[in-house]
Amino acid sequence: MITLGALKLSQHDVENIVFHNTPIKIADDTKMRLSKCYELIKDKSLGDKPVYGINTGFGALAEIRIAQHDQETLQKNVIVSHAVGVGDPLDFFTAKALILLRLNTLLQGYSAASPALTHHLVALINANCAPFVPKKGSVGASGDLAPLAHLGLLCLGVGKALIGKEKVDAKSALMHADLKPLQLGIRDGLALINGTQAMTAVAMVALRTCRHLAQLADMNASLTLQAFGGHKAHYDERIHALKPHDGQLKTAKNLATMLNGYHPPASIKNKRTQDPYSLRCVPQVHGATKDVIRHVQDTVLLEINSVTDNPLIFIDEACSRFDVVSGGNFHGQHVAMALDYLAMAMATLANIAERRIELLLNEQHSNGLPPFLIDNSGLNSGYMMLHVTATALVSENKTLCHPSSVDSIPTSANREDHVSMGMNAANKLLDVMANTTRVLAIELMAACQAIDLRHSDYISPWAKRFYHSIRNAISFRKEDGLFYDDLHKTLALLDSEEMRQMTHELANN
């Protein structure tokens, strides 16, 4: 059980709750404080003083006063009118993380969320339910309005939802969580949608995969170097101590660990003193990606424990008076820029992996391997088209890495005249990650094929373990066949618990 409200959420907490179904509860003192604050604001907001989002309209309509008898309708209207996302939905884990992150900001006590709303969100998480959230439709300021409004629809029992990975109607999800459709409190509609939780949820879940891919890329490079017959001297710790970026040091250590026991026979050992950059500079390139991942994680952890609502409601310690202050904490610029940066870092892993694939396939550079890693080439095309697929994915990544965060289109009658485009950055990152995973899978297939073609048992013990995991999924290709099937089996393996355990071990060696 993880108690929310008293402590900051960590990456470990989020992963336990989202991926491992660790139950949550709200700290008792947090419940008491939220209840007192809500009652105070409910009483005071009945007067003549305008309180944004409670007795006024939203955005460019903020100067329009809302009568008391219409205030509940106002909160419902902001949900149903804003839930206009389009495109494919967020995956289940990201949608579940979205609930958790929005709940965490409401529990800080500056949003005037009702106790009933926070109870709803806790129950949904504990029942492993999530909203059906289309990916597109947020400009990343004034909050991720459209994605978060789809969470509001689930609370109202409207539309679609997810129980685990099964798509159901929202009312069925509420029943599964032992809930009824929520009667929204005086500010619950706006409190649900005014924040950066959609883009930040994508970032939190993506970071888990990015860390996995960064370690996997090291494993790939080790296997490719051994298939090529390259030098392990490039990873001498004395070199990297003179340029001690954390990621570079860690990558060099990883490579040294995985190459321990690698002794290529003279027949395949590269005769050149220096290997190509795609092998020699792995610590510098992969290491830079690891440092970006760490930077982005720091930014995202700060964001998830921040209050991203507007307006913010500051209440004195005695819960006797409050101030309503408008600001811009809903603006997603920090996260948007971090997501663009992370996409660039992940694309870099694919860039250098594609060059390593080329090394193995090109007989002019492959140190004695047959063209396109196949015997009787000509009759057989071998890995020729798998490499073409990798190049297409790498090229697409370069297009996708144009930063979203430098764009802005004014909305809401120019009231919201600068936006972050953070959700666009998040969606591009997901595409870049998927492409990078596929390129790494192709490299891994090629490295195993090359090792088999060497007909020599010279690779390191660590590499043998990795190699055998792949060979349990796909076989050596003596001739052309359905490489498509091999690729999809390899992709499934890369996402398996076995492979995640292996990358976790490497990260902690």
Q: Annotated active-site positions, please?
A: 52
What type of residue sits at position 289?
T
What radius of gyration do the chain's Cα atoms show? 26
- Are the C-beta atoms of 310 and 328 separated by less than 8 Å? yes
Backbone angles phi, psi at 89, to 5 degrees: -80, 160
How many whole angstroms separate alpha carbon 187 and alpha carbon 32? 18
For residue 97, the SS3 value is: helix
Residue 482 CB contacts under 8 Å (≥ 6 apart), including other chains: none
Residue 72 CB contacts under 8 Å (≥ 6 apart), including other chains: 183, 184, 186
How many whole angstroms separate alpha carbon 157 and alpha carbon 466? 47
b (16+ CB within 10 A) / e for 382-408: bbbebbebbeebbeebeebbebbbeeb
> In 275-400, which residue ranges form alpha helices assigned H by DSSP?
277-280, 282-304, 333-361, 384-400
The answer for 143, left when phi > 0, alpha when psi is -120 to 50, beta otherwise, is: left
Neighbours of 22 (CB within 10 A): 14
Neighbours of 127 (CB within 10 A): 19
How many whole angstroms separate alpha carbon 120 and alpha carbon 36? 18
Tokens of 228: 């090529």
What type of residue sits at position 115?
P
Tokens of 308: 């991203």
What ranges make up the beta strands (E) of 152-297? 160-163, 166-169
- Are the C-beta atoms of 368 and 269 separated by less than 8 Å? no
Pairing of strands 166-169, 160-163: antiparallel
